[in-house]
C-alpha cells in the first residue's frame, strides 16, 4: 500500500512507514494513493465479521504484510462484536461499544497496536497521543504490557468524565498519563509540537496513536460493512449513516467504505455546539470558533484533524460532497434526544443521541437511519443518570477500575514542561 502526504505530494510512504510515522512532513496527513473496491459486495456481506474484515484490510495492506499476518492481526484486534440494534421502524443504532474500554476507539486502537507490534519488530517506540476522552483509554488498553512500547497520554484536566479518566490513568506499567491544564485542542497542539521537535521525535522514537494514524481509519472501515450486513436485506441500500463527529476519523472511515463499494446512500456529520464543519458545509467558510465544553465531551473539537482527508476524498473524485450534510445539536436537544430514545426503549448517551437527533427528522420514505453508538452509556454515567433520571449499573470494565488510584502527572499547557517530563520519564530506561 502506498500513501501520499496531503501537504507534500513528493513524500510517498508504505503502510508500515505511515503507521510508524503517524504524520508526514509539515504535519501532513497520509492518504492512500489508491482505494481498492469490491464488486462482489453481497458475497462479502455474507461473511463473518473477522473473515470479512481480513478481506477488506488485505485489499489495502495484504501486499505489504501478507494475508496471513493481516488475518492474525485482525483476529487479535477484533475480539468483540459490532452490533446493530433496531430502535424503531426506521432507525438502527450501530453499537460500537462492546470492547474493553466501551467505545468505538477500541477497534482502531487495538488494530493499530497489533500492526505496530509486528511492524516495529522489537525496536523501542514511544506512543504520544492526546485524548478528549475515549482515545486515551482505547490506546492505553491496546498497548498495555506490549514489550518495548511506552505510551504517553495527554488529556484536558477536569474536562473528561471521572470514569472515562479512570479507564486509562489506573493502568500504570508502560502507560504514562498527563493531565494538561487546558482544553483538548491545546493537548493536540502539544502533540503536534513534539512531532515537529526533531530531538524528541527521533530521540524517543515518537509515534502518534490518535485518529490521524492511518491504521486506525482502515480498521474503522470494517464496521460499516458489518452494519450493512446486519440490516434486513431490503434495507441494505437505503442506509443513511449519522456519525457523531469530533475529529472526523469515524466519518472518513465511513466514506472510505462507500468508495470501496458499500452501498451507503449518504452521511450526516452530527456535531455538538462545536460546529465548524456544519457551518462550513452551509457557508463554504472555514471559521473555527473557540472550543466549547459540552456533555458530549469526546466531540469538543473545533479544529477537526481528519477533515483534510474528507476534502481529499472529494477533490480526488471519490465522494460527491452532496451526499454529506452537517448538523449541529445543542445541549437542550441532546437531552431531548436521550429522553426520546428512552421512550423508544433505548438507553443512550450524549454522543449517540446527537447522531440520533440529526438523522431522526431527516429521512425520506425510502431511507433508513443508522446512527453510530460510539460509547456505552455507563461511560457517561453521571450525565445519563441526570438526564434520564434512572440509575445505570456499571459494566465490568468500568466496575473494575472505578476504585483504583489515578496515577496521572499534572502539567501546564507548556510544551517545554512536557518535553522535560517525557525525557525524564523515558530516557532513563
Ligand X SMILES: *Cc1c(COP(=O)(O)O)cnc(C)c1O
Write out the residues near ligand X by the rule CB under 6 A: 103, 105, 133-134, 211, 244-250, 298-299, 351, 374-375
CB of 62 to ligand X, least distance (A): 25
The answer to whether the Cα torsion of 177, 182, 184, 187 is positive or negative is negative
Nearest 5 degrees, angle CA 342-CA 346-CA 351?
A: 90
Q: Cβ closer to ligand X: 221 or 422?
A: 221
Q: Cβ closer to ligand X: 107 or 415?
A: 107
Distance CA 375, CA 136 (A): 13
Q: Cβ closer to ligand X: 22 or 133?
A: 133
Q: Cβ closer to ligand X: 78 or 371?
A: 371
Q: Cβ closer to ligand X: 99 or 249?
A: 249
- Number of C-beta neighbours around residue 25 at 10 A: 11
CB of 130 to ligand X, least distance (A): 11
Q: Angle between the 381-388 and 331-343 helix axes, to the nearest 10 degrees?
A: 70
Distance CA 338, CA 247 (A): 23
CB of 248 to ligand X, least distance (A): 5
Q: Cα-flanking dihedrals φ and ψ of residue 176, to 5°?
A: -110, 130
CB of 374 to ligand X, least distance (A): 3
- Number of C-beta neighbours around residue 426 at 10 A: 17
Contacts for 373 with CB less than 8 Å, ≥ 6 apart: 85, 93, 94, 95, 96, 97, 348, 352
Distance CA 283, CA 298 (A): 25
CB of 300 to ligand X, least distance (A): 10
In angstroms, what CA-CA distances link 421 with 152, 265, 369? 10, 48, 47
392-421 exposure pattern, b = at least 16 Cβ within 10 A, e = fewer: beeeebbeebeeeeeebeebebebeebbee
Q: Cα-flanking dihedrals φ and ψ of residue 231, to 5°?
A: -75, 150
Q: Cβ closer to ligand X: 244 or 326?
A: 244
Q: Cβ closer to ligand X: 32 or 133?
A: 133
Distance CA 84, CA 259 (A): 22
Report whether 336 contacts 308 (CB < 8 A). Answer: no
Q: Cβ closer to ligand X: 62 or 100?
A: 100
CB of 249 to ligand X, least distance (A): 3
Length of the chain equals: 429
Amino acid at each position: 500500500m502506498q500513501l501520499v502526504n496531503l501537504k507534500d505530494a513528493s513524500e510517498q510512504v508504505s503502510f508500515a512507514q505511515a503507521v510508524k510515522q503517524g504524520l508526514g512532513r509539515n504535519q501532513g496527513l497520509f492518504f492512500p494513493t489508491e482505494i481498492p473496491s469490491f464488486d462482489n459486495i453481497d458475497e462479502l456481506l455474507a461473511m463473518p465479521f473477522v473473515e470479512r474484515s481480513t478481506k477488506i484490510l488485505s485489499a489495502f495492506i495484504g501486499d505489504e504484510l501478507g494475508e496471513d499476518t493481516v488475518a492474525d492481526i485482525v483476529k487479535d484486534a477484533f475480539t468483540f462484536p459490532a452490533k446493530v440494534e433496531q430502535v424503531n421502524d426506521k432507525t438502527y443504532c450501530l453499537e460500537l461499544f462492546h470492547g474493553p474500554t466501551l467505545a468505538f476507539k477500541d477497534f482502531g486502537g487495538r488494530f493499530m497496536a497489533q500492526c505496530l507490534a509486528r511492524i516495529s519488530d522489537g525496536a523501542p517506540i514511544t506512543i504520544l497521543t492526546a485524548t478528549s476522552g475515549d482515545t486515551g483509554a482505547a490506546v492505553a488498553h491496546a498497548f498495555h504490557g506490549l514489550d518495548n512500547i511506552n505510551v504517553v497520554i495527554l488529556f484536558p484536566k477536569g474536562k473528561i468524565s471521572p470514569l472515562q479518566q479512570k479507564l486509562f490513568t489506573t493502568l500504570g506499567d508502560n502507560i504514562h498519563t498527563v493531565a494538561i491544564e487546558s482544553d483538548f485542542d491545546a493537548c493536540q497542539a502539544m502533540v503536534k509540537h513534539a512531532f515537529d521537535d526533531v530531538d524528541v521525535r527521533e530521540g524517543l522514537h515518537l509515534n502518534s496513536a490518535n485518529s490521524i494514524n492511518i491504521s486506525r481509519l482502515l480498521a474503522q472501515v470494517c464496521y460499516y460493512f458489518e452494519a450493512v450486513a446486519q440490516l434486513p436485506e431490503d434495507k441494505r441500500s437505503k442506509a443513511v449513516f449519522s456519525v457523531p463527529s469530533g475529529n472526523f476519523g469515524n466519518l472518513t472511515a465511513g466514506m472510505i467504505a462507500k468508495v470501496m463499494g458499500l452501498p451507503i446512500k449518504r452521511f450526516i456529520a452530527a456535531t455538538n455546539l462545536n460546529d465548524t464543519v456544519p457551518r462550513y458545509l452551509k457557508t463554504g467558510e472555514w471559521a473555527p470558533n473557540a472550543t466549547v465544553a459540552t456533555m458530549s465531551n469526546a466531540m469538543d473539537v473545533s479544529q477537526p484533524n481528519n477533515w483534510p482527508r474528507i476534502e481529499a476524498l472529494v477533490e480526488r473524485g471519490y465522494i460527491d460532497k452532496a451526499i454529506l450534510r452537517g448538523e449541529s445539536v445543542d445541549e437542550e436537544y441532546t437531552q431531548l434526544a436521550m429522553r426520546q430514545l428512552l421512550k423508544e426503549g433505548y438507553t443512550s448517551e450524549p454522543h449517540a443521541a446527537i447522531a440520533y437527533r440529526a438523522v431522526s427528522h431527516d429521512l425520506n420514505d425510502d431511507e433508513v437511519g443508522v446512527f453510530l453508538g460510539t460509547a456505552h452509556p455507563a461511560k457517561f454515567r453521571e450525565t445519563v443518570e441526570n438526564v434520564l433520571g434512572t440509575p445505570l449499573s456499571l459494566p465490568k470494565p468500568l466496575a473494575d477500575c472505578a476504585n483504583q488510584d489515578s496515577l496521572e502527572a499534572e502539567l501546564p499547557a507548556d510544551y517545554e514542561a512536557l518535553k522535560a517530563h517525557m525525557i525524564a520519564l523515558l530516557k532513563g530506561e
